Each structure stands twice: as structure tokens, then as C-alpha cells.
Structure 1
């Protein structure tokens, strides 16, 4: 029987709590890295990988857990750096002071650097087949790097104060947020050695899910509260950032969210037909988007 989303989240958190300290060799750095990694969060990215592995008949052994949980390390690095004074200069993350408020900008930067590099260590320091580890490392580098998430962040910085078109905004979000979520789903197909057609559909589901996630985040910055989000809301508009509500209004952004979710569900159905397996576990992830 497949594990629930909550059970998978608990497994990721337990793995982080048990193994993170083993690979850090400086006490303050360890405290800073642990502070952000263990601050809670939805763990959506690694649980998407784990759920996909289970759907496709794989086992969640220690090697799969290590490779999947690596993505949470990389995601946490991106949050630490995103909050820095030179970037978004945020004071709150997940309802607590941001890493640089707790440890200073220098140590926070190093904590992010440590988590980024440790992510690639965990992806490759396991007993998965060499070809699987190589492909995971390649796809993760592409998703997180200068043609993926980092490029999206650069577009976000340069676009501040300018009005992007819908196509430009969609492309920014595809890189900034969508690339890692696309990888999260694709990684489950790589680990279970799926045919190329299945991997393409998995990547497509992840990309649609990632777009929906960013649109939802944009919306919640307008209609949500600090208590709900665990971070300050209303900053996007105040800082003239490019967002879906800013470009299309709340109703228009909601329509774009529904379109992205419709695409994700269509791909979910296509995956069921192609593999002969139930992808009902994805319903729990799609249920995240509640306004």
C-alpha cells in the first residue's frame, strides 16, 4: 500500500534529522544549515519524487531516500539565498526569523552554499546504479542552474519595476519555480528506469504543477495572511515585482491557475493510460491549491 503524503513528508523530515549533521564539519555552519532545513515546510519536492517511485513500483529504500531528500537540501539553499538582503531581504520564513537574521548574512550565504553542494553529494553518494546517479545529477544541475532556477531568479531581479508580458512571466516562473518541481517528478521516473515516453509525461506533469504552484504563491501574497504563509505578504506589489495578480488581477490569475491544474490532470490521466498504473496519489499534491 502506498504511503500517504503526510507519511512521506515525515520520512523526509526524519531522514534529514538523522543524516544532515553527519556531513558538516563546522559547528556554527551546522547550526545554520540545520536551522533552515528543519524549520518545517511542506517537503513537496522530495515527496513528489518518493510518491512517483512508489506509483511506478519502486521501493523507498535508504538509497532512494538519500537521492530524493537531496532535493530538499537544494530547495532550502534557494530559500536562504532568496531571503538575503541582496535579494528579497525578508525577515520571516516559515513563521521564524530568516537565516541571515539569525546567523548573519555571511553565515547564511555559506549555509546555502553548503546545502547546495551537499545535495549533489547525496544524489551521488548512494548505491543506486551509476547510470541513474549520473542522470539525476545532470538533470538536477540543469533544473537548478543558470538555465533553470538561477536564470529564473535573474529574470525576476531584472524584471522588477518593468511590466513583463504573460509569456515572459510564464517563462520566468517555469525556470524560477517550475524547474525544480519538474525535476522532482522526473527523478521518480529516472530512479525506476521508466521508458522515455513515460519520463516525458512525468516531466510534463511536474512542469504544469510547478507553474500552478508559483501562480498560487503569487495569489496567496495578495489574498493570504502572514500566519497562513509563514512569511510577509503583500511584498510583491510593494516592490513592483512581476506576478500573475499584478498582471492579470486576482480573477485572471485564478483562471491561469485553473488552466495549469487542468493541464496537470490531463497529464496525470495520460500517465495512467500509458503505464497501466494508478496515479491517484498525485491527487493529494493537487489538493494543495486551495484559495
Structure 2
């Protein structure tokens, strides 16, 4: 086994041992698709570390594209629950690595379409996918906020960029039994990946995990008003969480933000058993006393613990 292959398989072994790879199809995809082919400008050693790697910045230094942390990618692929033959829409093409993993899972009978608003990112993703042998993946330069109605409906829609609300086009382009997976901002600096299944006119969560993502750009981008999670804020969060005597203080800043929020807002110690339902603004649903409502632009989020 070559050094590159050894590093590749060791990373997958690590993610599996941590419990984030749970199904044979996700494991097979990670073992078959080499990450370093999608990161030509970094060393092989760095490509096989369990880290997010930024691949493009704006002139002001703001990162706008990356290869996500492999552990988080595994979590989201398990949340997505792909099947052979599925048609997938990905919003946020990145390096093309995630699209390749999904293409491996859905097979030749399936279809993966990746969207990105940035022409350079699209071209690089196409080149990477071709080099890795995934020419069948379509990468299209367009604003993902509108989805891609030309190939709708989709079995699965996944966002690999953070969204502040659920844009109606995404729900409209799902199949009747489809699933939408997105990093969703619940409140300032509190973001979770939520797998939503389409129910009777609304979306209901099937799984929720903490996350931290670059934000959606384009016509549906939200103004950047979030507070910076700097070292001073991290120290404050650690102090508060340590005082609560229930959380480890070695977790990532975005996890601290989420844990502190649910502790202070709901008196809960974790996201376990949290359910989120997303209704349109004109819903007739009346929340119960045990449910919390977060009003967005297009949706009303109903949170409760089941």
C-alpha cells in the first residue's frame, strides 16, 4: 500500500472508529474516493487530516469556499440517507469532493447536480471531478438559492453552505418523499445541520447535529451581522459551560454556542430528541405550551423535545 493510500485509509478508519461512519455505502464511498485529488494545492498529508481546508478567499480575507471537515461530511452523508438511483441536488459545489462521494453512493442509475455561484469554483470542481473519474457529475454556475428546476424533482437536496432560512424553491423541488439537508441558523451564532423530510405541507426533522459553515451567497444571502467568535468569546463560553458542570470544554466554538443556547433557552443539556418543524408563514398551526416558535422570513420553525 502506498503512503498516500495509507494516509487515506487511516483517516477513514479514524472517522469510522469515532462512530461517524455508520453505513456500508458511506464507508465504501469514503474509501473509494481520494480526497487529495480534490485538493491539488495542498500536501497529501494535509489532505488526509480531519480538518476543513479553505480553498478560496475574497480580497478582504473572508473565506468563501472550502473542503469541509471529513467528519462533518460523514455526519451529513449519514443524515442524507442516500439510495442507489437517487437524484441529488447539491448547493455549494466546493472542491467537488462531496459530490463525488454522493455519486459513488447513488451509482450510475443516480444523478448528482452541484451548483455554485462562483465561476472559478465551478471550473475547479469540474476539473477535480474529471481527474477523479466522476465526469457524470454536473456542476453548474448559478445561484443555488433558486435551486435548479430544470432537473427537479429531487430525492435529496443538500446544502453545504449555511442558510438563515428555508427558501421555498428548495422545498418545491423535492419529491413527495424527499429529504432536505441544510446547515440552518437557529439564532445568532447557533447553526445546526437539519435533515428535513417533506410531510403534509411542511418539513419535519429526522436528525439534527451541530455545525459551522460559510454562508449562502447570492440573491438570498443574509447580511453578515453575526458576532465574531473570537478568543475572548470562547473563554467566556468555556467559563459558562464549566459552571454548568455538564459539558466538556474541549469542544469546538460552534458546539459551545449551541449547547449554551439550548441550556439557557430551553434548560436542555443536548440536542437529543429535539424536533424542528418548518411551516410556511401562513400556516394555521397553533403551537402548544411546550413548543417554541422561531419566526423566519419564509418559515416558522417549531421546536420541541419528543
TM range (shorter): 0.3 to 0.5
- Which structure carries more relative contact order (alpha carbon 8 Å, separation 6+)? 1
> TM-score when scaled to structure 2?
0.33
> TM-score when scaled to structure 1?
0.34
* Structure with a larger share of its residues in helix: 1
